[in-house]
């Protein structure tokens, strides 16, 4: 297929293409918002005489985004792009040059797997977008994608945050490209050489070994660049808006600590960390106005709603933003999304609200388009919208209604707005419940740390008998 690229490459993108061309396999470990998709498209254009199709795997929520990126950067006909859907099968495969398939579907749909197997030949260029989705070496999606892609002449891995869990992530990602890169026949051989496990808890990794050796092995096949190294973007501005718990929340907050910490000191280390995670989750729910809990271990979870001031604090923050400015609002829980939608509809009538989360998968693309076209507010969960959404640069105001425990998730959400195409400083506002778990989350994320892991390190520094005091002080 002959097509041209209509966008001029930036210097770091030209460097990435030059680094990838000599090898049939490679990884673009480029920071979020630095143009990985464009670089992949350019590689496909250069190799178009050696391949007869591109099979692009990405998270399901990004299939439309990938299609839009191809159309934005090339003169390709829309009919040359096939986006897999629930009807795609071996019998219904259209004649296309670009095929876009959801990574999650590889493990959930045998129909899709058969279609993928039909497409891949030695003249196929396979792209795996958001490589962190295949970091689990034993997962069905990782094994299937790796096995089927092995027949393709060219394989490319894209990732903005490649090592979200440390060097353990490298094994599956490099195996997808080629097992020859690391040189290990199995994960167990890799682990024996590069991972040290806890003597009492065999699955708990305590240290990585010989990381310099790993870096040297992958260096010829990987192009790495951060956003700060290659882009001159407007600055990020951070603000916080504080509120206090209601009496009802304070009572539930104390009750959660007493219930979960009841037998903490007699638990094993594994049980201890699980209890801390449960506690952090419960406390964060409570400061957000609800608590999903069991009154009895044999009962199902039920949601207890609590009076809170988080929504009114959100409204106060939004009223400080110029009324003509679009706003992206990130919230962790579906309960939050429901409350935010209701209050925005009441307090800002006729300004429009778009939503992006796990419950509206069928309409998410239309919601994004509606936000870009005119709706003022975009409300999303980081789990669904934190990857690959490139259209949010139309907004330079972002509100974090609350935060998850992972720094990588927070960074992904931030960089939906701070990326190529953003011309104004981006203002990030955090809604924080004072003197609660919210402030601990803020401190950990400001240090670029995961919240639970940060607390685990604190646990190691204090004596066991003082741990309960630390947790009660949250």
Token pair belonging to 262: 């009841």
Please tell me which of 180-184, 202-206, 256-260, 458-462 the model is most confident about, judged by mean pLDDT: 180-184
What is the tens place of the pLDDT at every residue in 347-384? 999 999 999 988 887 788 889 899 999 999 999 998 88
CB 356 within 8 A of CB 378: yes
Higher pLDDT, 464 or 423: 423
Helix, strand or coil, per DSSP, at residue 242:
strand
DSSP 66-132: HHHHHHHHB---GGGEEE--TT--GGG----SEEEEEHHHHHH-HHHHHHHHHH--TTEEEEESSGG
pLDDT band with cut points at 50, 70 and 90 for residue 167:
confident
Summarised one tens digit per residue, pLDDT across range 41-53 is 999 999 999 999 9
pTM: 0.76
**Helices 247-260 and 269-287, packing angle to 10 deg:** 170
Residues 366-371: contacts with CB within 8 Å, 24+ apart? 368/64, 371/326
pLDDT at 270 over 80: no
Give me the chain's average pLDDT, please.
Answer: 88
Confidence of residue 298 (pLDDT cuts 50, 70, 90): low
The arithmetic mean of pLDDT across residues 111-126, rounded, is 93
| CA 468 – CA 462 distance, rounded (Å) | 11
> What's the pLDDT score for residue 391?
85
Residue 326 pLDDT exceeds 70: yes
Residue 206 pLDDT exceeds 80: no
Tell the residue number behind the tokens 């951060």, with chain if given: 226
Integer Cα distance of 310 and 400 in angstroms: 11
Least confident of 109-123, 139-153, 171-185, 291-305: 291-305
Q: Which tokens sit at 69?
A: 């990126």
Does 305 score more than 80 pLDDT? yes
Tell me the domains of the chain and their CATH numbers: 11-228 (3.40.50.10810), 233-474 (3.40.50.300)
Helix (H) or strand (E) holding 439: helix 437-446
In 308-424, where does DSSP find H-type helix? 310-319, 334-347, 364-373, 382-385, 407-414
Residue 147 CB: number of other CB atoms within 10 A? 11
Number of H helices and number of E strands within the chain?
21, 17
Q: Taken in order 228, 229, 233, 234, is the CA torsion positive or negative?
A: positive
pLDDT for residue 164 = 52
CA distance 190 to 138: 14
Confidence band, pLDDT 50/70/90 cuts, at residue 340: very high
Confidence of residue 174 (pLDDT cuts 50, 70, 90): very high
């Amino acid at each position: 297929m002959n097509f041209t690229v209509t966008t001029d490459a930036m210097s770091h993108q030209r460097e990435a293409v030059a680094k990838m061309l000599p090898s049939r396999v490679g990884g673009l470990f480029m920071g979020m918002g630095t143009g990985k998709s464009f670089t992949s498209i350019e590689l496909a254009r250069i190799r178009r005489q050696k391949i007869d199709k591109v099979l692009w795997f990405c998270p399901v929520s990004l299939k439309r985004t990938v299609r839009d990126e191809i159309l934005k950067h090339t003169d390709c006909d829309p009919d040359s792009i096939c986006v897999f859907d629930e009807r795609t099968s071996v019998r219904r495969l259209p004649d296309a040059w670009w095929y876009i398939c959801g990574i999650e579907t590889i493990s959930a749909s045998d129909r899709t797997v058969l279609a993928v197997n039909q497409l891949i030949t030695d003249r196929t260029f396979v792209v795996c977008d958001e490589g962190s989705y295949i970091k689990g070496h034993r997962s069905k999606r990782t094994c299937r994608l790796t096995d089927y892609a092995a027949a393709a002449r060219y394989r490319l891995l894209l990732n903005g945050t490649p090592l979200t869990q440390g060097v353990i992530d490298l094994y599956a990602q490099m195996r997808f490209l080629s097992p020859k890169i690391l040189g290990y026949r199995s994960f167990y051989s890799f682990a024996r050489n590069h991972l040290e496990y806890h003597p009492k808890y065999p699955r708990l990794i305590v240290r990585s070994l010989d990381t310099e050796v790993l870096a040297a092995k992958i260096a010829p096949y990987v192009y790495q660049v951060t956003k700060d190294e290659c882009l001159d973007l407007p600055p990020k501005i951070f603000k916080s808006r504080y509120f206090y718990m209601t009496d009802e929340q304070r009572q539930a907050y104390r009750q959660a600590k007493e219930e979960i910490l009841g037998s903490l000191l007699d638990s094993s280390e594994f049980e201890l960390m699980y209890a801390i995670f449960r506690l952090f989750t419960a406390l964060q729910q409570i400061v957000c106005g609800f608590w999903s809990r069991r009154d009895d271990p044999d009962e199902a979870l039920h949601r207890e709603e609590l009076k809170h001031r988080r929504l009114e604090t959100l409204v106060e923050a939004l009223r400080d933003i110029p009324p003509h400015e679009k706003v992206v609002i990130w919230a962790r829980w579906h309960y939050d999304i429901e409350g935010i939608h209701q209050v925005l509809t009441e307090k800002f009538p006729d300004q429009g609200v778009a939503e992006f989360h796990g419950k509206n998968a069928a309409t998410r693309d239309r919601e994004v388009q509606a936000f870009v076209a005119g709706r003022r507010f975009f409300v999303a969960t980081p789990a669904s919208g934190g990857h690959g959404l490139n259209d949010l640069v139309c907004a330079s105001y972002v509100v974090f209604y609350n935060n998850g425990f992972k720094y990588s998730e927070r960074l992904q959400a931030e960089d939906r707005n701070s990326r190529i195409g953003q011309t104004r400083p981006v203002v990030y506002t955090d809604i924080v419940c004072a003197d609660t778990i919210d402030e601990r989350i803020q401190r950990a994320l400001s240090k670029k740390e995961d919240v639970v892991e940060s607390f685990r390190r604190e646990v190691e520094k204090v004596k066991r008998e003082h741990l309960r005091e630390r947790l009660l002080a949250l």
